[in-house]
Amino acid sequence: MALLIPENPVGIIGYGAYIPRYRIPAAEIARVWHDEGGGVPVKEKAVPGPDEDTITMSIEAARNALQRAEIDPLLLRAVWIGSESHPYAVKPSGTVVAEAIGADTAISAADFEFACKAGTEALIAGMGMVGSKMAQYVLAIGMDTAQGKPGDVLEYTAAAGGAAFILGTADESLAVIEAAFSFVSDTPDFWRRQSEKYPEHSQRFTGEPAYFHHISNSVNAFLEESGTKPEDYQHVVFHQPNSKFPQKIAKDLGFSKEQISTGLLAPIIGNTYSGAALLGLSAVLDIAKPGDRILVASFGSGAGSDAFSLRVTERITARAKMAPTTQQYIQRRTEIDYAIYARYRDKYVLK
């Protein structure tokens, strides 16, 4: 199948990260629940403060993206947020974010959902909107405050964070998006019913048939159709539900440790779900050089993977410095214990 390539070339003109301040070490979760001595999937994870949610975190990432893009927010024609933790079941996150950043009322504002790939889904839809000249600029965000059931293995990794991207024409871009490819299939690896607080997952579907199958299909098809090889990319970012999966898929597909190192944040912030691949991309853009090529492959349960490649332009040098970097957010770190974590994440029953 052919790649997704807009008629008019599109790129990223501004981007912004957000990671909340609090961290709970996986060892602390193991202490409370099930310390079987078998090792933990990440070192620690980022936890939102009690006054944070997908909306507030999206607002900060979007403000960072606007600072780098240096555009009037009134020129945005869409504000799209991909998340599986929208604060309301009914009432869009996008309208609050649009209002807070000073966007116009004549915009499309929508919330995207596709488990962990809702953010790249919004980004690819934005490519179409700008690439067809329906919009001058589009804001696409991937952001989550993921919840794991207390005692469940996902509690080690379910973290909070994400990134925002402003798309515009390729001539204005700090990184041109060359092409994209999406691969999806009906797979029962992970789900959450409408009124449930915590997700369910089926252990035997999580690895091979879900994550590895979908990412290898999207990336292999992308490489073949674009006529590129793993070594053509300076940086590669995979969805990262834990430390191990992205390292294994990189090896399986022929990418080196060096290629994935900058964008591999899960070991120190956990799995930020819709934010994960996009935060990895923002960490790469923070240090990228003009001419660098970047390959990104997200994964969302249910299931699917979006792969896309970027070519960094000379604009990156000035723009990377115009807002806080991903590493600045990672370094702003306050450790909390399980009791505070339980309070911040609403795990105590008060009535």
Partner 1 sequence: METPRHWRLKKQRYALVGEECPHCKAKIFPPRDVCPECGLEAKTVYHFSGKGEVYSYTSLTDAPAGFQASAPYAIALVKLEEGPIVTAQLTDIGNEPVKIGMPVEMVTRKLRDDGDERGMIIYGYKFRPVLS
Regarding 151 and contact with partner 1 (CB under 8 A), the answer is: no
Q: Which helix (H) or strand (E) holds 23?
A: strand 22-25
- Min CB(235)–partner 1 separation in Å: 24
Q: How far apart are CA 303 and CA 296, in angstroms?
A: 17
- Min CB(129)–partner 1 separation in Å: 25
Regarding 12 and contact with partner 1 (CB under 8 A), the answer is: no
Q: Is 297 helix (H, G, I), strand (E, B) or coil?
A: strand
HEC profile of 211-231: HHHHHHHHHHHHHHHHCCCHH
> x/- string (CB under 8 A) for partner 1, residues 35-74?
--------------xxxxx-xx--xx--------------
Residues 6+ apart with CB under 8 A from 68: 13, 14, 15, 16, 166, 174, 319, 320, 322, 323
Q: Is 149 helix (H, G, I), strand (E, B) or coil?
A: coil
Regarding 321 and contact with partner 1 (CB under 8 A), the answer is: no
- The string of DSSP codes covering 14-41 is EEEEE--SEEEEHHHHHHHTT--SS--S
Q: Is the bond preceding 303 in cis, omega lying within 30 degrees of 0?
A: yes
Regarding 324 and contact with partner 1 (CB under 8 A), the answer is: yes
239 in catalytic set: yes
Regarding 196 and contact with partner 1 (CB under 8 A), the answer is: no
235 in catalytic set: no
Regarding 221 and contact with partner 1 (CB under 8 A), the answer is: no
CA angle 19, 272, 182 (to 5 degrees): 125
Q: Which one from 52, 84, 121, 155 is the annotated catalytic residue? A: 84
> x/- string (CB under 8 A) for partner 1, residues 199-218?
--------------------
Q: Is the bond preceding 30 in cis, omega lying within 30 degrees of 0?
A: no
Q: Which is nearer to partner 1, 49 or 128 (CB)?
A: 49
Q: Which of residues 87-146 bind partner 1 (CB under 8 A)?
A: 87-88, 96, 99-102
Q: Which is nearer to partner 1, 87 or 290 (CB)?
A: 87
208 in catalytic set: no
Give contact residues for partner 1 (rule: CB under 8 A): 20-21, 49-53, 55-56, 59-60, 87-88, 96, 99-102, 324, 328-329, 332, 334
